[in-house]
Amino acid sequence: MSLLGEQCLKEDKAQKRGIRPILKKYEKEKVLVLESISELIAFQDKKQNILWLNKAAADSVEKTPEELIGEKCYSVWHKSNKICVSCPIDVLLKTGKITSSEITTPSGRTFFIKGFPVRGNEGEIIGAVEVARDITKLKQTEKNLIESEEKYRNLFESSPYSIGIFDLEGTLIDCNKATDKFLSTHNLANDIIGKHFREFWGYHENNKPLIPLFESILNKLKKDGETLEFDFPIYRTAGGVLWAHATVSLIKLGSEERIRFISQDITERKLAEQELESSEIKYREAYNRINFYKDIFSHDINNIFQNIHSSVELIDLNVEQSINMEKDDELLDIIRKQIKRGTNLISNVRILSEIENKDLVLRKREITEVLKDVIDALIKVYKNREINIQIHNDPKEVYIKGNELLPDIFENILINAVRHNQSSLVEILIKFSRVVKDGVNFIKLEFIDNGIGIFPEMKEKIFQRGQVEKKDKIGLGLGLTLVKKIVGYYNGQIWVEDKVAGDHSKGSNFIIILPEEV
């Protein structure tokens, strides 16, 4: 060997001696890295004999690495003498590709295993590195989560109440089967879930008012965060109305904030409440009717007794003064008519008692003759008063739909015109005319008197029950209340104005309009 060759050899040996410590250092650090990894790592040959494994792999079976060198991986971890089904290393050795799978050991532990091929200088597979991660706790957590979700879904679906989950914008994310009871022709999956409440409440015209209601509930819930409760009706497309009681609150589903909407069908309760309310209304109406009939009877019977009493006094006076007995016959005729009027009054009260229980039977009646009969009777009763009653535009024959209570209307108005009149001559002008209101033809009657008039603040009160006559104020008793009631039954109207506009002291003008019957 030449001197130069010897020198090169010496330098090469010296270089190797310098690199060897470095390599040892790297080897030691590699082992430390592999030993510190929590995953199980094992290097196997083509027959799945363990050539090397880290401490974590040995610790998993409570052995030392040295004890496991040369053992089969499936005998170490699976206590088996044959390759595991779906073994990723077996697949890797056959395909040469990186593979992975989950395998559960006989002890119940589950591992996620990934295999990496190890190749020689010529690229041939000489073994495999198996990296396994113990996922037993993760799998149990997944199982618990699935079971929890199943329990939640079972509770969700088995609830008798409708449960809906909305996002914060008002789109329905999910709802249970109980929600279907509030629907008819629409389908939960296709028409409700995934839709905004503005859309599905818009399916039925009568449900559209629920849109602003839900918007206000949504805004209040997001603003205050407090649980809200309210009742609302749902109109079904197939017909019918259901009532629901809703409880709305904010909930957390994972990291997302959602709106939980629980609805209970309270239709039966609502119907019971409405029936109870209707019963209470009927009871109050029955009570008011009793008082109304009492007013009719007491008011009119007092008028009858007053007329009889006046006639009796005149007869006594005639007897004392030996006045012509023909006058007594007229007075006796008045008494007979008043007795007949009392009989009619009882009949009329009976008729009115039937009004609220069934449709009032009205028939075609001519009113001018009825009015003239009432005028004749009035003049005979008030013989001691000078009364002038004129009828203008007398239509001779005018028909309306009325009944036996029609004379009571005219009688009350005319009696009040006489009784509340301080003039020596009582003047009453009755005017007939026709008016059209809302396409309906009405007969208009005006009773214009020269009495003491009615204060402006009393013009409505005189038609209200309980406005009894007082000495110091204008009062027309209860008769006008009855008149208004009867006119209302005839689908008419009554009101009072001043004879001279703006000056009530000049007298009154009572106006009645009644639908004309052709």
Contact 363, 399 (CB under 8 A): no
Beta-sheet pairing, 425-437 with 386-392: parallel
Do residues 51 and 130 share a domain?
A: yes
Do residues 370 and 340 share a domain?
A: no
Do residues 100 and 166 share a domain?
A: no
On whether residue 7 sits in a domain, the answer given is no
pLDDT at 10: 53
Distance CA 473, CA 203 (A): 61
pLDDT at 471: 33
Q: Can you read off the two tokens belonging to residue 242?
A: 């259901």
Could you tell me the CATH number of the domain that includes residue 404? 3.30.565.10
Do residues 440 and 348 share a domain?
A: no
pLDDT at 414: 94
Do residues 247 and 291 share a domain?
A: no
On whether residue 12 sits in a domain, the answer given is no
pLDDT at 396: 82
Inter-helix orientation angle 367-381/325-355, to 10°: 130
Q: Give the pLDDT of the chain (518 residues) as one tens digit per residue.
A: 555 555 555 555 555 555 556 546 555 666 676 777 888 999 999 999 999 999 888 998 899 989 999 999 888 888 888 888 888 998 999 999 999 988 888 888 888 999 999 998 888 999 999 999 888 888 887 787 777 677 777 777 888 889 999 999 999 999 888 888 887 677 777 888 899 999 988 888 888 999 999 999 999 999 998 999 999 998 887 778 899 999 999 998 878 899 999 999 999 988 888 888 888 887 887 777 677 677 667 777 877 888 888 888 878 877 777 666 666 777 788 888 788 777 767 765 665 565 555 556 789 999 999 999 999 999 988 888 999 999 999 888 999 999 888 998 999 899 999 989 999 999 999 999 999 999 999 999 999 999 999 999 999 888 875 444 433 333 334 468 778 888 998 999 999 999 999 999 999 999 999 999 98
Could you tell me the CATH number of the domain that includes residue 211? 3.30.450.20
Taking CA atoms, 225 is separated from 45, 160, 221, 248, 448, in Å, by: 64, 26, 5, 10, 67
Do residues 351 and 378 share a domain?
A: no
Full-model pTM? 0.41
Do residues 185 and 86 share a domain?
A: no
On whether residue 209 sits in a domain, the answer given is yes
Among residues 444, 448, 442, 417, the alpha carbon closest in space to that of 432 is found at: 444
* Torsion angles phi and psi, residue 188, rounded to 5: -60, -50
Do residues 216 and 311 share a domain?
A: no
* Burial class of 43 by CB neighbour count within 10 A (0 to 12, 13 to 18, 19+): middle
Domain boundary pick from 356, 385, 408: 356
Do residues 243 and 323 share a domain?
A: no
Q: What is the CA radius of gyration of the chain?
A: 53
Domain boundary pick from 213, 232, 265: 265
Residues facing residue 434 across a β-bridge: 443
Beta-sheet pairing, 386-392 with 256-265: unpaired
On whether residue 153 sits in a domain, the answer given is no
Domain boundary pick from 335, 356, 377: 356
Distance CA 122, CA 358 (A): 110
Do residues 403 and 507 share a domain?
A: yes
Do residues 441 and 339 share a domain?
A: no
* Torsion angles phi and psi, residue 443, rounded to 5: -90, 130
What sign for the dihedral angle of Cα 57, 61, 64, 67?
Answer: negative
pLDDT at 147: 72
What sign for the dihedral angle of Cα 291, 297, 300, 303?
Answer: negative
Contact 474, 457 (CB under 8 A): no
Do residues 378 and 496 share a domain?
A: yes
Q: How many CA atoms lie within 13 A of 66 on its CB side?
A: 0
Where in the sequence is the domain holding 91, given as residue range(s)? Answer: 18-135
On whether residue 384 sits in a domain, the answer given is yes
On whether residue 5 sits in a domain, the answer given is no
Count of domains observed in the chain: 4
What sign for the dihedral angle of Cα 446, 450, 456, 458?
Answer: negative
pLDDT at 215: 93
pLDDT at 515: 95
On whether residue 9 sits in a domain, the answer given is no
On whether residue 11 sits in a domain, the answer given is no
